[in-house]
Structure 1
C-alpha cells in the first residue's frame, strides 16, 4: 500500500526524513499481521520499546469513550511509563460495556505476558465498527505472532494493520540535534472518516528517543494536539476511540528536556511538525476526498476566536461541497464564519480564495471567476480570512465533500 507522507525538506533546527519509519527512534520495534478481525487485510499491530518509555496520551472528548481508552488511561496513571502499544482495526470495542473493558484488559495482559513486561506498561487502542464485541478467539492467538515478528522493519506492517477506510498509510519523521546528540521523532497515524475536533476516528502514535521529563511530555502533547489534531475535520462526527499517544525512550542520550532546556524551542517545533503533518495527511485522506482544504484565519482578537472561525469554515458541508465543485461561492464561507461564535466585525472582514480577493472590508469586490475557480482546484485549496481585529491567528484543515463519502459510509458495515 502506498505510504502518504510529506516530501523531504528542511526547516530551521530539524530535518524532515523522506522515508519515515515509526521504528526509527532508538529502542523501538513494530509488527503487524492479519489475525482474522477483518476478512483479508492486516488488523493487529504492535509497537514495543526495549526500555520503559516516558509516555503521555490525549483522548477523545466524546462522552462514550471506548474501552481501550479506559484501560490505557488506567495504565498510564500508575507510573507514567509505557513499553508497548497493541492496536486492532476492524472493531472499535466501543459501547460494549463491562465485557469490552475486560477484553481490552485481556489484550493488555496477553501482550504483557508475551513481552515479559508489567501489564500497566501496555497501552491498548482499537478502531472500527462500534457496538460489537471483540473476537478475542482471534486476537489472543495473534499476539504471540506479533511479538515474534517485532523488528525495525515492522513499520509498514504496523501502519497497514491500523487502517480502516484509509486509502494509504501515514507517517512522518524528523531528526534534530540536542546536546550534541541526534534525536529522532517519528509518528504514524490512521484516520479517514468520523474526523472532527476534538480529534477524530483517528489514532496517532509518536515515538521519540529523546530524554524528556514526564510532565513536560504531557504538556507538550496537549498543547501540540490543540494546534494540530484538534484543528482537522472531515465530516463533523467526533469518534469514541480517538487517541494520540507518545513514547520517549530516552536512548538518544541528551540531557532531559524541559521548557527550561535551551533547545526546548527547536524540539517543540520538531515535535509539532510531526503532529501537524500527520493531521494534514489524515484530513487529505478523508473518505472520498479529492483534496485538502486549508483555512487560515488572521487578525483575530484571541487564538481561541481564530480557531473557532477556522474550524467552522473548514467544517461547513456547504463550503466543502463548493470546493469539490470548484464553485467560488464565498457567501457560504461568510455564513460559516458568522455562526462560528468568534468575535469579529462583519464590516472589517477580508476574504481570499487562494490569492483572489473576494471580499474587502465586508463588501464583495469584482473578481475573475476563472481565477477563483482555479484556486479551488489546487491541493491544498486555500481559503484565507483576515478579521482585521487583532493579532491572533489559526489554521484548520479539512477536505472536500464528494459523492464517494456517501457511498463509503452508506455501506460501512458491509
Structure 2
C-alpha cells in the first residue's frame, strides 16, 4: 500500500469534487461541497445511534438502500437538526436540486449537514450554492471539498492510498471533519470515502461496518454523540478488477487499506479536538475478550478526569484504573499494569493494580509530547483494542461556551 501525499478524492478515477462559499458562513469560508461519481456506483453508510437524528440522517437511511449512489452534497454552518418537517423537506430539496443538476434520480444522492442545531436551514442560499457547485465540477478540487465540510476544525482531514488488485491500481481516498461533539457510536463527525474498486454493495457495506467499529467508534473527544454523525463510502468500479463478491484475498487487501484510511482519519479527528494540545492513544492489551478490551480503552479515552490530567502533564494513573473500573469490561484489578509512552521514552507507573515508584520528571516529559500513548496490560487474555482521543483544555470550554452566539 502506498500513501499518496498530494492526492485527494478528486484524484480517484471517475470522481469529481468541489467546495464553495454559498453564504451560510458569515466569514466567507467554504461551506458547501459536492462529491460526484461520473459513473454508476454502489455505496455503504453508517449513521449516528443518537435517537435525535438530523434531517439528512433520516433521509439517507432511505437513500442508502438505492442500488446506485453517485453524489453526496454537504453543507457546513447549519446542522439541519431538530428542525421538524421543514428541515426534512429541506434535506429532500438538497437531494432534488443536486440530482437535477447532475441528471440523477433523487434517491441516488446522499445529503450531509453540520453546524448549529435547531436553526432553520437557509435553503435558498443552499439551492443556489448547489447549482453553482455542480457547474464548477469540471474544476474539480478535492482540497476545497475537504475545507467546505469544516466547522471548528483547525485543519482539513484527508488521506489517499493506492493498492494493486489484479495488476490494476485501486485508490481509496477520504475526507472527514470533526473537532467537538465527538463520541461516535455508529465531532459532529462526518467522513466521506471514495474508491474506484469493483465490489458488490453488500460486501462494501460489510467492510465499512466492521471498519467503523474499530476506527471512528473508538474515538472520543468530549463524550457527546452528535445528531449528524455519518460515514459514507462510494465505489464506482472504474479500476475494472474482477467483481469482488466473496470475502477472498482481494477483499481482505481492500479491507486492510480501508481500515488504514479510516484509522488515520479517526486519529486526525481526535488530534483536532476542540482546544486539544495532544493526541492520546490508549492501548489495552491481553483482555479476556475483544469487547472487554474495547470497553476499557474507550472508557479511559472518554474520561474527563484522565483527559484533564494529561492536559496538565500529570501521571495520574489512578484515574486510568478508575476509568476501566466503571467501563463494564471484565478484568481483575489486581493484575493491571499501566505505562505511559511517547516518542522520547516510556515509563511504568502501576503494577498489579498498585502504584510503584517512578521518575516523576521523566513521566512529565513523556506526557508533554503531542502524541501520548497509555498502555494498559490486563494480563488476562489474548485480545487487544486501541482508542483515540485528546486532552481536555481550558480552550474547550471557551469554544463551546460561545459556539451558538
Fold similarity call, TM over 0.5 = yes
> Is the 2:218–2:387 contact (alpha carbons within 8 Å) kept by the matching residues of 1?
yes
- Pick closer, same or farther for the CA change 1:383–1:147 going to 2, 3 Å: same
Task: Give the structure 1 partner of residue 40 of structure 2.
Answer: 52
Query: Which residue in the other structure is 1:317 paired with?
Result: 304
Structure 2 CA distance for aligned equivalents of residues 133 and 52 of structure 1? 33
Measured against aligned partners, the alpha-carbon deviations of 1:143-196 in whole angstroms (never above 9, x if no partner) come to 111011114641121111111000010001110100110000000000000001
TM-superposed deviation, 1:318 = 0.7
1:406 pairs with 2:397: yes
| SS of residue in 2 equivalent to 1:158 | helix
Residues 161-310 of structure 1 mapped to structure 2, 5 A cutoff: 161-198=148-185, 200-310=187-297
2:64 aligned partner: 76
Match of residue 119, structure 2, among 123, 132, 137: 132
CA distance in 2, matches of 1:292, 1:343: 27
**2: CA distance between counterparts of 1:83 and 1:304?**
36
- SS at the partner of 2:181? strand
Matched, 1:353 2:344: no
Contact 1:60/1:200 (CA < 8 Å) preserved in 2? Answer: no
Q: Distance in 1 between matches of 2:55 and 2:391?
A: 32
CA 1:333–1:259: 2 relative to 1, 3 Å = farther
Query: 1:271, CA displacement in angstroms?
Result: 0.7
Task: Give deviations 1:296-315, integer Å, cap 9, x for gaps.
Answer: 00111111110110010011
Deviation at 1:264, TM superposition (A): 2.1
SS of the residue corresponding to residue 23 of structure 1 reads helix
- 1: CA distance between counterparts of 2:40 and 2:390? 38
Compared with structure 1, are the counterparts of its residues 219 and 200 closer, same or farther at alpha carbon in structure 2 (3 Å cutoff)? farther
Distance 1:202 1:33 in 2: 20
Which has the higher mean CA deviation after the structures are superposed, 102-111 or 146-155? 146-155
Unaligned segments of structure 2, at least 5 residues: none
Determine the C-alpha separation between the residues in 2 that align with 1:52 and 1:126.
Answer: 24
**Residue number in structure 2 paired with 1:7:** none
Number of residue pairs matched by the alignment: 400
Aligned mate of 1:91, from 51, 70, 78: 78
SS of the residue 2:19 aligns to = strand
User: SS state of the match for residue 285, structure 2?
Assistant: strand
Q: CA deviation at 1:228?
A: 0.0
Question: 2:309 and 2:244 mapped to 1: Cα distance?
Answer: 45
Distance in 2, Cα, partners of 1:317 & 1:260: 40
Give the deviation of 1:199 after TM superposition. 5.6
What secondary structure, in the 3-state scheme, does the structure 2 residue paired with 1:238 have? coil
Name the SS for the 2:114 alignment partner.
Answer: strand
Distance across 2 between alignment mates of 1:80 and 1:391: 40
Which among 378, 384, 388 is matched to residue 397 of structure 1?
388
Question: How far apart, CA to CA, are the structure 1 residues paired with 2:158 and 2:396?
Answer: 23
Runs of 4+ in 1 over 6 A off after TM superposition: none
Does the CA-based 8 Å contact 2:186-2:213 persist in structure 1? no
User: Do residues 385 (structure 1) and 376 (structure 2) align?
Assistant: yes
Separation (CA, whole Å) in 2 of partners of 1:311 and 1:63 = 21
Q: CA deviation at 1:259?
A: 4.3
Alpha-carbon spacing, 1:376–1:80, altered in 2? closer, same or farther (3 Å): farther
Q: 2:91 aligns with which of 104, 118, 130?
A: 104
- Whole-angstrom CA distance in 2 between matches of 1:153 and 1:200: 27
Which whole-Å deviations, capped at 9, do the CAs of 1:188-218 have from their partners, x for residues lacking one?
0000000013164110000000001111000
- TM value normalised by structure 1: 0.95
User: Aligned partners of 2:285, 2:7: CA distance in 1, in Å?
Assistant: 32
Contact 2:173 2:195 in 1 (8 A): yes
